[in-house]
Structure 1
Amino acid sequence: MTDKTKPEVEPYDGGEPTELVTIDIEEGTGEAATAGATVDVHYLGVDFESGEEFDSSWSRGQSVNFPLKQLIAGWQEGIPGMKVGGRRQLIVPPALAYGPAGSGHRLSGRTLIFVIDLMGVS
């Protein structure tokens, strides 16, 4: 259980990045996530350009469990090292998200911002 609430995405001070940007909002004190871990997370995803929310576990009212290896590259690179209890913002360029425009995913070609709360690691 968490006492955290759905995050607000703060505007990024700078241009649209071409590499993964990782910003620790709150340092966790629990076990650290590793590259091969399954993570239990609460997350919010917004479009970098418009600021529009496209996905949120908060809106569904429950965290989700994912094996990191099944997620987009930006999460595979941006979550390891994060500790349980932490909140981290990832700004993920298209190459580490859903690919260039026209790749077939509705978010292809988009830079995405995620705020991730790490609830558990297994």
Structure 2
Amino acid sequence: MADQMPQVSAEFGTTPVIEFPTPDAPKGLKVVELFEGNGPMVRRGDTVTVNYHGVVWGGSEPFDSSFNRHQPASFGIGVGQVIKGWDQTVPGHNVGSRLLVSIPPEYGYGSRGIPQAGIGGGDTLVFVIDIISTR
């Protein structure tokens, strides 16, 4: 599976650079732990603080990036405050981990997408997520 996933350069805490191996995204929801942290494990219902960088599969410009804003984001995880792809992949990983997540439309923004953000209906989303804290 990792060979179908994008390559990510840059270390935890720095803005990632994402390179796509193929024009076609892998099927289904995929997560690769690029770096395993040694902090507490994130559990459903926790409030997590993360830095993230999101691009459409094959794209180069982020549709959203807390790294670019220099402002981490905090929200409840596993409770419907974010897209399903996040709710199902972030819990179970430790603080200090860097994740690479490929999210098909049914776990993201569906067939409508978010055109104003540059996300088309049917787009697969790719996020690099650094887990900063959980409580």
Specify if TM > 0.5: yes
* CA separation of 1:11 and 1:32: change in aligned 2, threshold 3 A: same
- Normalising by structure 2, what TM-score? 0.80
Larger CA deviation: 64-73 vs 3-12:
3-12
Tell whether the 8 Å contact from 1:49 to 1:111 is kept in structure 2 after alignment: no
Structure 1 portions without partners, runs of 5+: none
The yes-or-no answer on 1:25 pairing with 2:34 is yes
Tell whether the 8 Å contact from 1:72 to 1:97 is kept in structure 2 after alignment: yes
Q: What CA RMSD, in Å, does the superposition of the two structures yield over aligned residues?
A: 1.7
* CA separation of 1:14 and 1:20: change in aligned 2, threshold 3 A: farther
Shift of 1:49: 2.9
Question: Which residue in the other structure is 1:95 paired with?
Answer: 106
Matched length:
118
- Normalising by structure 1, what TM-score? 0.88
> Equivalent of 2:62, from 42, 48, 53?
53
* CA separation of 1:28 and 1:14: change in aligned 2, threshold 3 A: farther
Shift of 1:53: 1.1
Runs of 4 or more consecutive aligned structure 1 residues displaced over 4 Å after TM superposition? none
The yes-or-no answer on 1:112 pairing with 2:121 is no
* CA separation of 1:104 and 1:94: change in aligned 2, threshold 3 A: closer
Structure 2 portions without partners, runs of 5+: 1-11
Tell whether the 8 Å contact from 2:52 to 2:66 is kept in structure 1 after alignment: yes
* CA separation of 1:13 and 1:49: change in aligned 2, threshold 3 A: closer
Tell whether the 8 Å contact from 2:48 to 2:133 is kept in structure 1 after alignment: yes
Greater RCO, 1 or 2 (C-alpha within 8 Å, sep 6+): 1
- 1:63-103 residue CA offsets vs partner (Å, 9 max, x unmatched): 11011120000000110111000100000000000001xx2
